[in-house]
């Protein structure tokens, strides 16, 4: 009989709890105030999370009154923990420290595994030959190469 009243009392507590609160806000960069799209807000202790939209805005509904610990993260920022009490009047503004990863140096190593073999005979006109033919035309210079003829 005692268990019946205990379960009945707990049931009334669960039903009477108003879980219709809404938390709204935005996540911005700490330094320049730009909106951070894709930031994740996780409610620690309950299975709720939300991501910001392209404007850095988020909204979470069906929250029960109480205090929540939020873990706010973004791929290029330090994770921040904040405490929020629900109901909350107005929108919250969360500022994250945005970091760029800078590399000290980049090393590229490679090797060519293919040796190129020339299967044809090569002929070249040297700079000395060009100087000797400075009075002549390009066609005259090309006549020095075997297999080349000009009209």
Average pLDDT taken over every residue of the chain: 81
| Phi, psi (deg, nearest 5) at residue 86 | -110, 135
pLDDT-derived band of residue 140, with 50, 70 and 90 as boundaries? confident
Specify the CATH number of the domain 20-96.
2.60.40.1120
* Vertex 95 angle, CA 91 and 101, to 5°: 150
pTM above 0.75, yes or no: no
Q: What is the pLDDT of residues 18-68, one digit of tens each?
A: 788 999 999 999 888 999 999 999 998 888 999 999 999 999 999 999 999
């Amino acid at each position: 009989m005692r268990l019946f009243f205990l379960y009945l009392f707990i049931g009334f507590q669960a039903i009477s709890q108003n879980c219709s609160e809404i938390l709204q806000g935005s996540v911005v960069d700490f330094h320049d105030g730009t909106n951070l799209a894709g930031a994740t807000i996780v409610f620690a202790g309950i299975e709720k999370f939300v991501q910001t939209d392209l404007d850095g805005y988020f909204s979470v509904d069906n929250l029960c009154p109480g205090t929540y610990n939020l873990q706010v993260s973004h791929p290029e920022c330090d994770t921040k923990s904040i405490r929020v009490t629900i109901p909350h009047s107005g929108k919250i503004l969360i500022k994250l420290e945005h970091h760029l990863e800078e590399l000290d140096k980049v090393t590229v190593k490679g090797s060519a595994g293919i040796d190129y073999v020339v299967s044809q005979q090569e002929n070249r006109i040297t700079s000395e030959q060009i100087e000797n033919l400075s009075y002549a035309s390009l066609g005259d210079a090309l006549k020095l190469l075997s297999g080349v003829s000009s009209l």
